[in-house]
Amino acid sequence: MKKNLLQKSLKQLTIFAFIVFALSVPSYFLLVDWIWLKELDENNQLIAARIENEFNEQKINNEKLAESIAFWNEIQPVSKIESAANPLAKDSLYTIRRENSYSKSEAIDRFRGLKTNILINNKNYVLVVETNVEETEETVAYIAMVTLVFFMILVIGFWILNRKLSRKLWQPFQDTLEKLKSFQLNNQKRISFPETDIIEFNELNTTLDKLLQHNIAAYQSQKEFTENASHELQTPLAVLKNKIDLLLQSDDLTERQYHIAEEMNKAIIRSTRINKNLLLLAKIENNQFDSSTLIRLDTLIDQILDGLPTFFKDKNITITTHIQPAVEVTANSGLTEVLINNLVANAIRHTLPGGSIKIALSASGLEVSNSGEQPLNPDLLFKRFSRISADNNGSGLGLSIVQEICRFHNWEVSYNFKNATHIFFVRILTF
């Protein structure tokens, strides 16, 4: 499935953003948990200092002090004070999971503990303080939900802004693309690209303009050469043809000389035909024909077939026609006749003796089919001077002329091989 360039890049950015978002959730958890544990450690230190000060401020004797500590341990199940002969080398920090004594429901909570030394009435005691740790998972979940909401707003906003901005930002590119699509080299019309304030598009338009000018100039030079060569060759070919005709009518020729002259005559005829076809192609490419004549195709086909019975009889070819009456088209009469003649001549040339040809005309187009043994090469079919069979009698330009005539009239020509039959179909789009 083909995708728009901007959509494809934005999709990759969206996937990357989702990956970053997914990685941020555990990062939030670790960061929030670390901050809370650090704050609880500081809070436990303050609690230890407060407990030590409160006991010392009472200034009670050791007997009452022991009773007070026992009572304090009883009412503070999560903390305790124990006498110690030797003080701890250093404070101890730990995290533990156990049942919460103050919770109404049976739940296992996490506690952050501190085990430290305190001095009461100049005696060493070990104080254990434990503080319940709030559920980090819930906090991170809420943070992730809020982040996801803003993330979705950001992504949706990117897609909406991309669609709106891309239409404006890429409009010069779209204009250039549309002009290139409508450009035809044989028209030789220079494209005027729109001015834009985007450097890359300006460079693209400048490069394309230079490239098209070069191609137009090369095409014009090639076309002029072909046309001039065809014109210049007409006269010497006609002279050669007349001289050979005179030579063939001479009574002094030996049989060997006559055969040589006959071969020369065939070569001159073929060269003349090629020259005329090249000249015709040059004129078609130069748009030197009028295409505004209303033509009855059924009548034109009948007239062409009336002049070909000898060719069908020579190869014992069976001709079948299915001509729909009153089929009209606006086109050039001469070129349309050449198109039909070339398709029929091509069918005759590539039909084996005893074969069959079918010509069908309908509102959808013209179909010329003939029997055959194997399909033709579609890559060489409409190329000039390409050989699609061993027959050397043709000029190698017949189907190329058919294609150019179809292009001139905005028609379509196609080839298909089905059930041992070559099928050429011309879709006349202006019906």
Average pLDDT, the chain: 81
Which stretch of DSSP H or E encloses residue 390? none
3-state DSSP assignment of residue 250? coil
What are the CA-CA distances from residue 247 to residues 125, 228, 244, 265, 352 (Å)?
140, 29, 5, 10, 35
DSSP 8-state code for residue 298 = H
Q: With beta carbons less than 8 A apart as the criterion, state whether 83 and 120 touch.
A: no
Q: What is the pLDDT of residue 312?
A: 83
pLDDT higher than threshold 80 for residue 416: yes
The residues, any chain, with a CB within 8 Å of residue 337's CB and separated by 6 or more, are: 300, 304
pLDDT at position 368 is 92
Which pLDDT score is estimated for 136? 63
User: Looking at residues 192-214, what average pLDDT do you find?
Assistant: 83
Q: What is the pLDDT of residues 355-376, one digit of tens each?
A: 899 999 988 899 999 998 888 8
* Res 387: pLDDT: 60
**pLDDT number for residue 271:** 81
Looking at residue 176, its pLDDT comes to: 83
Q: How far is CA 200 from CA 153, 170, 230, in A?
A: 31, 11, 45
Question: Is residue 431 scored above 50 in pLDDT?
Answer: no
Strand partners, 347: none
pLDDT at res. 1: 56
User: Picking from 176-190, 329-343, 406-420, which range would have the lowest pLDDT averaged per residue?
Assistant: 176-190
pLDDT at 7: 63
Residue 201 has pLDDT above 60, yes or no: yes
Please tell me the least confidently modeled range out of 6-15, 25-34, 60-69: 6-15
User: One-letter amino acid identity for 136?
Assistant: T
Name the H helices within 294-431: 297-306, 309-314, 333-349, 398-409
The candidate with the shortest Cα–Cα distance to 348, out of 300, 280, 398, 383, is: 398
How many CB atoms are located within 10 Å of the residue 333 CB? 15
CA distance 351 to 318: 10
Q: Cβ atoms within 10 A of the Cβ of 223, count?
A: 17
- Model confidence over 38-48: pLDDT tens digits? 888 898 899 88
Q: Residue 424: what pLDDT?
A: 93
157's torsion region: left (phi>0), alpha (psi -120 to 50) or beta?
alpha
What value does the mean pLDDT take over residues 121-150?
80
Mind listing the pLDDT tens digit for each residue in 92-104? 898 888 776 666 6
> Global pTM?
0.50
Range with lowest mean pLDDT among 26-40, 226-240, 267-281: 226-240
The domains found in the chain, sorted by start residue, are 5-141 (3.30.450), 199-285 (1.10.287.130), 293-427 (3.30.565.10)
Q: For residue 148, is pLDDT > 90? A: no
